[in-house]
Every structure is written in structure tokens, then in C-alpha cells.
Amino acid sequence: MSRTALVGNVTAMLEDAGFTVSDRCAIRPKSFDVAARRRNNLLLVKILGNIDAFNEATGHEMRRLGTYLRATPLVIGLRSRDEDLKPDVVYFRHGVPVLSPDTAYNLFIEDIPPLIYAAPGGLYVNIDGDILADEREQREWSLGRLASELGVSRRTVSKYEDGMNASIEVAMALEELFDTELTSPVDVLEGADEVHESDPTPADPDADPDDEEVVAILTRAGFRVHPTLRSPFKAVSEDEEDEEDVVLTGHSQFTKAAEKRARIMGSIGRVAHTRSVYFVDKASRESIDGTALVERDELTEMRNAEELREVIRERSKRERAA
């Protein structure tokens, strides 16, 4: 299957599942292909035939964006090396959860979350330690008795009851011993970090030297500016006075490529519930598909932070209303 066809299939699946999906980020480099929202769940989705193409730099960018946009970064892919991804298994690459299309379909269409996740050493499941402890105590089994039944140490059984996850083989043995369900699904949207110990959110990269003036002006205007390296926008800017007000920010000469980026930013902004602004040298209009256009001369002449905020609000609002 070509990557274009795969992207189309995944996008159609997300729309069938009730997600609003942004335009595809048809530019390079790009950390994600589409943004998708269903109610309070926002996804930033990278779609790949072979997930080995997903590198550390892209993983770090997606995790940063997930933090700034309150979104779940997610990779949907077909295979790793020469092996297809297993259904109903969550994999991880550089701290980002990875699903096969079948697993994503079961999760988003059938509402069946995956039970298994891959980690060094094999496949694992979440064990509900409280239920396990209750079942053991009801049978008046000691930790040592259960450890003997499983062929593990007493300390290991104690860790299972404290919340340590188990291999599939151990989970199956436990459920057979107690004749009850002890596993819980992997919550990809909310709690994937509970089963995958990833490093803290990677630090922001340095801003492009060409963008330093714009970054300085935005910072003076009361925005926390987070530069990006592999996104349709140059930065994610958070208004320090209103943490819910997030602005996707771009900057370049006003070319056909800039217009394309502005359109993509507007589409992502509508899905992500953010504003977007593109700073240009000269422009013949005030906005493009919901992305406010602000000339550099205007920016330097603005008297205060609120004036900049108001220009972004009004120009993006006017475009959307039209």
C-alpha cells in the first residue's frame, strides 16, 4: 500500500470514528500528518508504512507539541523491519505510542482498547493489583503460595499487587488460577505514560536566527514562545495572561509556500482550538483560511501586548466568519 493510500485510509477511519480531521500537512519536514479531535481528545497523528522511519528528533517534537497543545501524539503504522505490527498491541517509539491500523480501528471505531503493550523483553499487560490481592486473600493464599504456583519469587508477586505489570504468560496463568479477569486496558489517550516510563518532555530547540526578532517581540507581548523544527508553524506561543489562548506562529516572506503553510496552520488551528498568525514582510490581505497575517512593520509599531492580541483575534475571527 502506498503511503498516500495509507494516509487516506487512516483519515477516513478517524472521520468514521467521529473525529474532525485537519488538512494533511503536505509539507516537509513534518512531525505529524494530521490533527484530529473528538470531543476533548486531540490527536497529532503520524502515519507511516514502516515505523522504523520514525526518528528521535520527530518523536521529541511530537511530544513537545503534545504538551503545548494538550494533545496525544500518536503513530499509526504497518510494520517494523519486515514484520507487521501485531493487532491490539501498543508499541512505543521515542516515547510516542504506536498502533497498527487494525488496533486503531478497534480503539476508535469499536471502542475496544488494546490490552497489550510492547516493551524491552516482550509483550506485557496491566495487572489490577487490588483485584489480584483480593482474590489471593479470599482464597487465604500467602504471597509465597501464589509465588510457588507461578514459579516466581514472593517479592515479584508483591510487586504485581503493588501495580507492576506482567508478561502475557504470567497474566494468563493468574487469570486461570483465579478464574477471573485481572488485566486492564492500555489507556492510549490518557495514561500511556503509566505503562511506559519515558523521559520528561524534551527541551525546546533554539529559535531560528531569522526568527529571533519575532520571538523577542512576542515574548515582550507576554507570550511563552516554543520554537519548533519539524512543523508547518515555526513556534507554538502561549499567552501568559490566558493559558487557554495558544497561537500557532509562522514567519517568512509572503510566497506561495508561505500561503500554503498559512492554510495548513488555519486548518490545524480549527481542529486544535488554537489561533494562528503568520508574520510576513508584505501582504495584500489580512488573513488566510483563519490564519491572521501581520506585516513586520505593523508588529514593530504596535504599542502594547494587547494590541497584538487583538489584531490576531480580529483577523482570524473575520476570516472564519467570512
Based on the domain organization, do 11 and 107 belong to the same domain?
A: yes
Q: Residue 141, exposed/middle/buried by CB under 10 A (0-12, 13-18, 19+)?
A: middle
Q: Contact, 227 vs 211, CB < 8 A?
A: yes
**pLDDT for the residue numbered 309:** 86
In a domain, 45, yes or no: yes
- Residue 7's nearest CA partner among 80, 101, 73, 84 is 101
* Residue 164 CB neighbour total at 10 angstroms: 14
**pLDDT for the residue numbered 296:** 86
**Count of structural domains, the chain:** 3
In a domain, 200, yes or no: no
Retrieve residue 71's grid coordinates.
494533545
Beta bridge partner(s), residue 75: 46, 98
* CATH number of 131's domain: 1.10.260.40
**pLDDT for the residue numbered 195:** 55
Q: Contact, 249 vs 279, CB < 8 A?
A: yes
Beta bridge partner(s), residue 293: 278
* CATH number of 259's domain: 3.40.1350
Q: How far apart are the first and last CA of the chain?
A: 39
Q: Which domain holds residue 241?
A: 209-321
* CA dist 73 → 32, 78, 225, 250, 251 (Å): 8, 17, 20, 21, 25
DSSP 8-state symbol, 17:
T
Q: What is the pTM of this model?
A: 0.90
pLDDT in tens, the chain (322 residues): 788 999 999 999 999 999 999 999 988 888 999 999 999 999 999 999 999 999 999 999 999 999 999 999 999 999 998 899 999 999 999 999 999 999 999 999 999 999 999 988 899 999 999 999 999 999 999 999 999 999 999 999 999 999 888 999 999 999 999 999 999 898 888 755 655 556 788 899 998 888 888 898 889 888 999 999 999 999 999 988 887 789 999 999 999 999 999 999 999 999 999 999 999 999 889 999 999 999 988 888 887 778 888 999 899 875 554 4
Based on the domain organization, do 178 and 265 belong to the same domain?
A: no
Q: Contact, 314 vs 301, CB < 8 A?
A: no
* CATH number of 107's domain: 3.40.1350.70
Of 71, 93, 114, the residue at which a domain comes to its end is 114
